Structures are given as C-alpha cells and as structure tokens.
C-alpha cells in the first residue's frame, strides 16, 4: 500500500521531528529566562539598580529637569522627560541585556544588565 515510503524516509522524518522539538524547547526556555536589572546612572554616577520583575515608576529630578522611568511587564521605558528633543521618550521599551536608553540633555543612562541576551552577537560596518 505505501510502497513509495522507504526506511530512509521514515528516519529522515523522525530526525526532522526531533530537531523541531529540540528547537522549540530551546526557544521556550530562552524566552522564559529570568529578567535582568535596569541600571540607571545620572551624570555618570550610579542612581539605582531596579529589577525588571517588579513594576514601578521612578522619578529622577534635578535642579532644572524632571524625568520619569517606567518599569512594566519586564521592560523599561522613559515615560516622560522635559528635554527639548524627546528622543529618549520616543525610544522603544528595552528588556534585553546590553540595551540602553539615553537622555543626553539630562545625562541619564538606563542600561539592562543580566537577563535575556540580545539576538545580535555583533554588528559589522
């Protein structure tokens, strides 16, 4: 009845099915990796380190500026800033190790350390 299916076809099918299962397991465990920390520096000095596991709003104020950092659902974003260009506010939320948001006028740097690694190993120019 199935004379066109050979033993090699069955072995190939099993190998492909096994590698698909292993790939799915690796992706699942990578996506469920523990969250890292948001490290905030102000004017080059440490301001604070905050876990991405806990939702919170952090207000950073100085003599002539006010910024609000929002940690929500395992990611960080600059919610508001009174800087003139708003680049930091328009930046997408970050959640992977090595990513950062910088408010240059107010010298605030938010950097992710630990947790999930970035999908990119290196960038060549």
Q: For 79-102, how does the pLDDT look when each residue is reduced to its tens digit (9 = 90+)? A: 999 999 999 999 999 998 889 999
Calpha distance 91→79 (Å, rounded): 10
Beta sheet of 75-81, edge-to-edge order: 56-61, 66-72, 75-81
Instruction: Indicate the average pLDDT of the chain.
Output: 87
- Quote the pLDDT of residue 19: 95
**pTM of the predicted protein model:** 0.66
- 3-class state of residue 68 by DSSP: strand
Q: How far is CA 124 from the centre of its chain?
A: 21
- Quote the pLDDT of residue 28: 74
Residue 109: pLDDT band with limits 50, 70, 90: very high
Name the CATH superfamily for 37-113: N-utilization substance G protein NusG, insert domain (2.60.320.10)
The structural domains of the chain, with segments of one domain joined by +, span 1-32, 37-113
Residues 6+ apart with CB under 8 A from 92: 77
């Amino acid at each position: 009845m199935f004379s066109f299916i050979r033993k090699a076809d069955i072995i190939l099918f099993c190998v492909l099915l096994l590698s698909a299962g292993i790939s799915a397991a690796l992706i699942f465990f990578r996506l469920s990796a523990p969250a890292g920390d948001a490290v905030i520096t102000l004017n080059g000095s440490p301001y604070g380190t905050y876990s991405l596991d806990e939702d919170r709003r952090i207000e950073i104020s100085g003599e002539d500026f006010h910024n609000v950092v929002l940690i929500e659902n395992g990611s960080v974003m600059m919610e508001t800033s009174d800087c003139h260009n708003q680049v930091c506010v328009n930046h997408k939320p970050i959640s992977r190790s090595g990513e950062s948001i910088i408010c240059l006028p107010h010298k605030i740097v938010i950097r992710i350390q630990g947790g999930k690694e970035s999908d990119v190993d290196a960038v060549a120019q």
